[in-house]
Amino acid sequence: MTSVQIYRIKGGGYRAFSCLGHTGYAESGEDIVCAGVTAIVFNTINCLTDLLGEDISLEMDEDAGEVICNFNAEPSEKANFLVDCMIHGLEWIQGQYGSEYLRYEINELAQEPARAN
């Protein structure tokens, strides 16, 4: 199963999201659920950097199927909208294929987390 965690400030913008694991819907190379999740997550990351120039940091482990995206600065309104669109796509996939393959969770943070300098 793939687990997506999304973090945002209560009443504010997003701060980070992570995607971990392989869906297990089908064999590697045949897994349309995993391909869909990967396309949505990486398209969001690419749009954040290439189109909006957002200041983000990425950590990736391809073997584990792990991607962690952190906003290093306050995300723009458009960046928040892109993450909303990512969530919408994940919601659709989960609705079509089931939560045994994909789960996502939005975590509300009460305050701004400390940022490393």
In three-state form (DSSP H/G/I as H, E/B as E, the rest C), the secondary structure along the chain is CEEEEEEEECCCCEEEEEEECCCCCCCCCCCHHHHHHHHHHHHHHHHHHHHCCCCEEEEEECCCCEEEEEECCCCCHHHHHHHHHHHHHHHHHHHHHCCCCEEEEEEEECCCCCCCC
Q: Tell me if residue 22 is catalytic.
A: yes
Which entry of 22, 47, 85, 88 is annotated as an active-site residue?
22
- Does the annotation mark 19 as catalytic? no
Per-residue tokens: 52: 């909006």
With beta carbons less than 8 A apart as the criterion, state whether 74 and 55 touch. no
Catalytic residue from among 19, 34, 85, 88: 34
Among all residues, which ones are annotated catalytic? Answer: 22, 34
